[in-house]
Amino acid sequence: MDVENLMTKDEPASARPLAEAVPVRLEPAEFADLYSAHCSFVYYLALRLLGDAAQAEDAAHEVFLKAYRHLDQFRFKAKVRTWLYRITINHCRSWLRKWEHQHVLTAPEPIALETAASPADSPLRVLEIKELGQCIQKTLDALSPEYRLLLLLAADEQLSYAEIAELTGQSVDAVRGKLHRARRAFIAQFRRTT
Amino acid sequence: MEPKPSRMHLQGQSAESSRQETELQHQQSHSSAIEFGTVEEMLRYDAAQVSPPATLAARLRDALANEPRRRPAWWRRWLPRRRKE
């Protein structure tokens, strides 16, 4: 992983909440606090990107290990959450590339999903809560990787559209437009899945 | 940070039968309906149901115990340590 690249493209320090600041050097107890604050978010992102609990655990483990090893290179220009997400995204992309290299996959059809007739403005109603996770996973798996990532990042209320744009390497306007299409695609696919 | 939509409607379906309380609880837990106003709400709800496995923290603790003691860069030793505010 290009660790330098992880830490150079984020927002100005002035936009960073002070509570998110990371000291130059963390003691084990302080790193434990960082882990506690962000672990569930990192794990959930990895879980839904990879679609496998065991792989998500491995991914989260690697993410925090890398974060620990490279904390001294963290330049205080990003929120910790954003930084950890960037490592997670890179790790998951790398893992998926390797996996796809070894397996033949059929590509999803996001355009068909976007234009599918569905009442996109109506609420999503779920009856079987216990199967919600599986339905969400199936739905996300059917979307393009870009839509999947955008929706998962947008679901984190701590991330602004600007930060999502940073993480995905595009403009805020592009994020807005794609998120709109991603939501429609998700809803159309979700109705098929449930 | 721009505000993102956040609205959740919870609708509980009342049990029609007067069965035992345990059966009622079971039915409610499996057939209660939840409405989500946005996809993001649904994902946030889903995320709240997912917990990282307990083994993850233990694995990480073991891995960090084997990490070499990190020393700050030479120039950082001359700088005052930043504090959380």
A86 and A173 belong to one structural domain: no
Q: In chain A, how many domains are there?
A: 2
**Do the domain assignments include residue B59?**
yes
Dihedral angle sign, alpha carbons of residues A168, B1, A35, A74: positive
List chain A residues with CB under 8 Å of B38. 183
A11 and A96 belong to one structural domain: yes
A72 and A26 belong to one structural domain: yes
For residues B43, B45, B50, B51, the Cα torsion angle rounded to the nearest 10 degrees is 120
- For residue A193, what pLDDT band results from cuts at 50, 70 and 90? confident
Domain that holds residue A5: 1-106
Return d(Cα A96, Cα A2) in angstroms, integer: 17
ipTM of the shown complex: 0.76
Q: What is the CATH number of the domain that holds A187?
A: 1.10.10.10
**Is a pLDDT exceeding 50 seen at residue A31?**
yes
Residue B44 to residue A64, Cβ atoms within 8 A: no
| CA–centroid distance for B78 within its chain | 39
* A14, A121, A132, best to mutate vs chain B, most B CBs in 10 Å: A132
Question: Any idea which of A11-25, A35-49, A67-81 has the lowest mean pLDDT?
Answer: A11-25
A92 and A142 belong to one structural domain: no
Residue B36 to residue A126, Cβ atoms within 8 A: yes
A120 and A174 belong to one structural domain: yes
Residue B72 to residue A24, Cβ atoms within 8 A: yes
Domain that holds residue B63: 37-85
> Which among A64, A130, A155 is the nearest to B43, CB-wise?
A155
| Across B65-80, average pLDDT | 64
What integer pLDDT is reported at residue B5 of this predicted model? Answer: 45
Residue-wise DSSP of A109-138: -HHHHHHS---TTSPEEES-GGGHHHHHHH
Residue A124 to residue B42, Cβ atoms within 8 A: yes
| Across A82-91, average pLDDT | 95
C-alpha distance from A101 to closest chain B C-alpha (Å): 27
Tell which of A106, A133, A160 closes a domain. A106
**Do the domain assignments include residue B53?**
yes
- Mean of per-residue pLDDT scores for chain A: 79
**Do the domain assignments include residue B54?**
yes
Q: In chain B, how many domains are there?
A: 1
A101 and A124 belong to one structural domain: no
How many of the other CB atoms lie within 10 Å of CB of B77?
A: 11
